[in-house]
Amino acid sequence: MDELNEKVKKSNYKEGIKKLFSIPEIGILVPLILLIIIFTALNPIFLSPLNIANILRTMAFYGIIGCGLTLLMISGEIDLSVGSVAGLGAVITGLLLKHIGLNFILAMVIGILAGSIVGFINGILSVRFKIPSLITTLGMMYLVRGAVYVITNSKQIYPLGEAFKNFGQSLPLGVGWNFAIFLIILIVSDQLLRMTSFGRSLYAIGGNINAAKIAGINTEARKITAFVVCSSFAALSGILLSSRIAVVTPIIGQGWELRVIAGCVIGGISILGGIGTITGTLIGILIMGVLDTGMIMAGVNPNWQTVLVGFIMIAAVGFDIFKRTRMR
């Protein structure tokens, strides 16, 4: 009897291990934990409450965009203009606050709407006119960034008002409004993907767009909506950063696109579409944040940080393509 119970326990143990490793995100969660252990061993201050708050506060700006980009990438598209759109949202909001004296919440809403218009244009050009989203959004990245410099004359916009400043520098959850808003967007995006027909349709479109069309899914409308959501989140993130630093600079969002895409890809979002989760993106963005802070605290040359991120991104994309090829 004891021998039978022992066999049952072993069987349950093996089954539990299999279930654990069948979770898609486990493969990237382990490296995250290892990185935290390594950087803490190198510098115990790494796990101090202040440093953790700084990591979460910084990653939230990328994470907000990452949620929108996850929806878009799952549908089989990409957006390289998110960094520039973040700058545009901040600039529009800053101009409304400084020159018109608009209520800061209304100014933020208009800034987000400006971003959504860019997303709509990206969607129309990519979906209706069949211009590859890589090319459309690359062009839009330069176009919008140029517009930001022209509008601001390459100068900072300030003052932005005490209400806007106080909003950005208050610390709900001990971190900041940007992190609180990120958590809300994270939860809503996750539920949207897993529990709604819209989310399931994005997976279907990214997996096989022809089959999705046959199933009666309005693929064009779904993709355009994903573009709009992605750009809206990007504009919101830029606005939140300007609120945090209490000034709008024309370089807000510069270089964000590659960092967010890297986080999404590291988190298991397929560049070919149809695969990925919000949880994966969260872990991928966290890995980026831990790497940045940990390597700075370890005294690693910033140039090597860029090299490492590039290497990880190439490896992640290569692994994704390898998996997709094996599945065929």
Tell me the CATH number at 157.
1.10.3470
Distant-in-sequence, close-in-space partners of 91: CB < 8 Å, separation ≥ 6: 148, 151, 152, 157, 248, 250, 252
Q: What is the pTM of this model?
A: 0.91
Distant-in-sequence, close-in-space partners of 187: CB < 8 Å, separation ≥ 6: none
327 found inside a domain: no
Write the single-letter amino acid at 326.
R
131 found inside a domain: yes
- pLDDT for 323: 65
CB 115 within 8 Å of CB 122: no
**Ranges of the chain with pLDDT below 70:** 1-24, 320, 323-328
Query: What's the angle, vertex CA 283, arms to CA 219 and CA 287, rounded to 5?
Result: 125
82 found inside a domain: yes
8 found inside a domain: no
CB 279 within 8 Å of CB 190: yes
Residue whose entry in the numeric block shows the structure tokens 């790497």:
291
Question: Which residues, listed in sequence order, are joined to residue 157 by a DSSP beta bridge?
Answer: 248
Three-class DSSP category at 91: helix
- The domain total for the chain is 1
Distance between CA atoms of residues 27 and 274, nearest Å: 18
| The pair of three-digit structure tokens given for residue 73, joined into one six-digit string | 């990438």
2 found inside a domain: no
Three-class DSSP category at 250: coil
- pLDDT for 6: 59
The 3-state DSSP composition of the chain as helix, strand, coil percent (nearest 5) reads: 80, 0, 20
- pLDDT for 20: 47
Domain with 169, as residue range(s), is 27-322
Closest C-alpha to 168, from 252, 84, 257, 100: 252
CB 202 within 8 Å of CB 74: yes
108 found inside a domain: yes
DSSP 150-175: HHHTT--B----HHHHHHHH--GGGT
110 found inside a domain: yes
- pLDDT for 318: 76
Distance between CA atoms of residues 15 and 202, nearest Å: 32
19 found inside a domain: no
The fraction of the chain above a pLDDT of 90, given in percent, is: 75
- pLDDT for 315: 78
- pLDDT for 62: 97
